[in-house]
Amino acid sequence: MIGILDLFEEDHLRWTPEQMMARLRCPRSTLYRYLRVLADAGLVISLPDIGYTLGPRIAELDYAMRSSDPLIINGRPVLQALAQEVPGIGLLCRYYKGHVLCVHQEAGATGIRSGYERGRGMPFARGAASRVILAHLKPPQLKALYVTQSSEFRRTGMGTTIEQVQASLREIRKRGYCITRGEVTRGVIGVAAPVMDSEGSVLGSLSVTVAEAGMSERRLRLLADRVAFSAQVVTNSMRAA
């Protein structure tokens, strides 16, 4: 049943039962039984001549998450303050099962537009918001990701072996923040720092995207320190919650 919900991705948001059966390789009777349960719960809806798409219960759950997720509750005011100071876009991202997802966004006075607004998955190995999370994963987690996504890691320039990737990420961990240039969007710089839980495991990241034009190295270092401080404030709030 969860597999049915997992079918709905950005590039395929409408599914016919025949398409679902082909993808999931399950009997028609089983599929329709699960679809009936999901439809009764409002998680999917059926539209004539279109098929199935996500239902209104998803929006209710999204609202409940925004109202209850400690990362958003503690991170929102910090990100708002940062967005007022910095001419860019601030993001709070969460990590789960090899995915990096934007859960909150704040925009300052800037012409920059982020293609990764709330709810949209981000490249898990490219961009500061994702890479700083990778730098704080436990070694078994990182190795498991590398085994299944080695080609993606190689495209980042971090190295061609797991040892080289680990060495590159170790430097990010030592600095306490990550800076990338134009890896996800041309002409911008991403600066990110990790947000940790009470047990020291990485929950996600706090990041800012700013225009690369006119950004001196001195201003960039000051911005990185400000982002790292802000992420630490959120981490401390999470530990006190």
Calculate the CA 4 to chain-centre distance.
Answer: 22
pLDDT of residue 113: 64
Q: Is the pLDDT of residue 116 over 80?
A: no
Strands (E), 127-185: 178-181
pLDDT of residue 115: 65
Q: State how far the Cα of 202 lies from the Cα of 60, in Å rounded to an integer.
A: 27
Domains, the chain, in order of start with CATH, read 2-60 (1.10.10.10), 69-240 (3.30.450.40)
CA distances from 175 to 117, 136, 172, 192 (A): 27, 12, 5, 11
User: Pick from 130, 163, 133: which is nearest to 146 by CA?
Assistant: 163
Q: State how far the Cα of 212 lies from the Cα of 67, in Å rounded to an integer.
A: 34
Q: Token digits for 50? A: 């279109």
Average pLDDT over residues 109-114: 62
Maximum Cα–Cα distance for the chain, whole Å? 64
Q: For the chain, give the percent of residues with pLDDT over 90.
A: 63
Average pLDDT over residues 158-185: 90
How many CA atoms within 13 Å lie on the side-chain side of 152?
Answer: 16
Calculate the CA 236 to chain-centre distance.
Answer: 21
Q: Are 185 and 115 in contact (CB under 8 A)?
A: yes
